[in-house]
């Protein structure tokens, strides 16, 4: 009888956990599907960042909500015309990606967002900040490449950075194109680990590559 009661308890706990997992995945999928809308309306990024953060707070052990919250925050920052507020946005994005990193250390996707955050800070004053934040951004891209050799996003970020860097400083299409071509090769072979894992960037990489004939 005791064994039967124990079995029933285990079954109930398992069923509850499965239901919670399905609810989490459904919430993540529905919000991930809205991310592209942020590129047309920046406030959507801010709303999504807050939603992902709430999901992370509720789940506690899941790194992806904090990852997406940071990703949305930093993209919201990139969309702002007034760069004087970048540091405050970067501070919050950094707090979020640090939470993701504490749950999933040495993760290539987290390193990509860290690179983006450094770039966001750099844009406040590129001439004064390049040495500090340009170095951090490049180091994070390098780390992302080492942490997952199949991830196309660090190559996209490096190609993007080079494309928008003046030729006299080592940028332009000549140096960007090989990185973007590598990114596209990796995008074509890339398969996300789960249905809610990061899978962004392929369309943007193709657009950048098109600008470098």
Task: Give residue 9's pLDDT.
Answer: 42
Domain ranges of the chain: 37-149, 150-213
To the nearest whole number, what is the mean pLDDT of the chain?
Answer: 92
Q: What is the DSSP string of 151-193?
A: -SHHHHHHHHHHHTS-GGGT-SHHHHHHHHHHHHHHHHH---S
- pLDDT tens digits, 68-81: 999 999 999 999 99
In the predicted model, is pLDDT for residue 3 greater than 60? no
Looking at residues 17-26, what average pLDDT do you find?
76
Cα–Cα distance, 32 to 100 (Å, whole number): 16
Q: What is the pLDDT of residue 96?
A: 98
pLDDT at position 15 is 40
> What is the model's pLDDT at position 165?
92
| 65 neighbors 48 (Cβ within 8 angstroms) | no
Average pLDDT of span 87-111: 98
- Interatomic CA distance for residues 137 and 115, integer angstroms: 4
pLDDT for 4: 44
* 85 φψ region: left (φ > 0), alpha (ψ -120 to 50), beta (else): alpha
Instruction: Check residue 213 and give its pLDDT.
Output: 84
Residue-wise pLDDT for 174-210, tens only, equals 999 999 999 999 999 999 999 999 999 999 999 999 9
Length of the chain: 213
């Amino acid at each position: 009888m005791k064994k039967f009661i124990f079995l029933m308890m285990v079954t109930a706990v398992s069923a509850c956990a499965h239901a919670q997992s399905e609810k989490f995945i459904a919430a993540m999928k529905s919000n991930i599907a809205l991310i592209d809308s942020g590129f047309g309306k920046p406030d959507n990024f801010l709303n999504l960042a807050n939603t992902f953060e709430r999901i992370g707070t509720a789940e506690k052990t899941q790194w992806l909500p904090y990852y997406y919250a940071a990703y949305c925050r930093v993209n919201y920052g990139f969309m702002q015309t007034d760069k004087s507020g970048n540091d405050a946005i970067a501070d919050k994005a950094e707090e979020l990606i640090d939470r993701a990193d504490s749950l999933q250390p040495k993760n290539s996707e987290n390193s990509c967002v860290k690179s983006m955050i450094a770039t966001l800070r750099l844009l406040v004053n590129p001439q004064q900040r390049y040495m500090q934040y340009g170095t951090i951004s490049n180091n994070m891209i390098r780390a992302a490449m080492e942490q997952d050799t199949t991830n196309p996003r660090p190559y996209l970020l490096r190609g993007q950075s080079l494309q928008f860097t003046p030729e006299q400083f080592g940028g332009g299409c000549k140096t960007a194109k090989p990185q973007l071509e590598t990114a596209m090769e990796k995008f074509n072979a890339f398969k996300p680990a789960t249905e809610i894992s990061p899978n962004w960037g392929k369309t943007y990489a193709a657009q950048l590559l098109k600008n470098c004939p």
